[in-house]
Amino acid sequence: MDEKPDATPPAEPWSPPPQTDLTEREMLLEAMGFKPEGGVAITANGQMLGRMSDVAEYRAWRDDLGLTWDEVIGVIAEVTASRNGAEPPTVFKYFTKPMQRFAALKARGPLQPSDTPPAPTGGRNARRDQHHRSDAAFRETLRRIESGEIKLGSGRRSPFGD
């Protein structure tokens, strides 16, 4: 008998992390590039990462920005990967701006077509177009010199103000 599967419910703003032996804090620290022990990590300069202030920052991403666990981990992974092996950050707040940008993208409405026509890009006519713009600028400057808008001095002046 053919049964239709139930419709997938819409994603909740918060989904818990997957079940593992690690705490949320430890999973966040691992995503940031640390190997946490006891829920905290020590940075290269000896600072402890994963303190209560860091956890409060994480809760703000979750509660204030409405990000899911997978989204938080995804943003952290993208930011960490873009650091190209540099030392991990010393506070969770380092990830707040990227979290805010992601939340803003997530909350915006559907994209609409642009009203602005595309600018000419490279292609085979790019050099000719650039040359045409240069010619037009030259002709305008020449017209302004001939009309007296631009005054050229005939005296010899030093560029150093001598």
pTM: 0.56
Tell which residue, 49, 133, 152, has the closest CA to residue 95.
49
The domains of the chain are located at 24-107
Q: Decide if 75 contacts 102 (C-beta within 8 A).
A: yes
Q: What is the pLDDT of residues 30-79, one digit of tens each?
A: 888 877 666 567 776 777 777 888 889 999 999 999 999 999 999 998 99
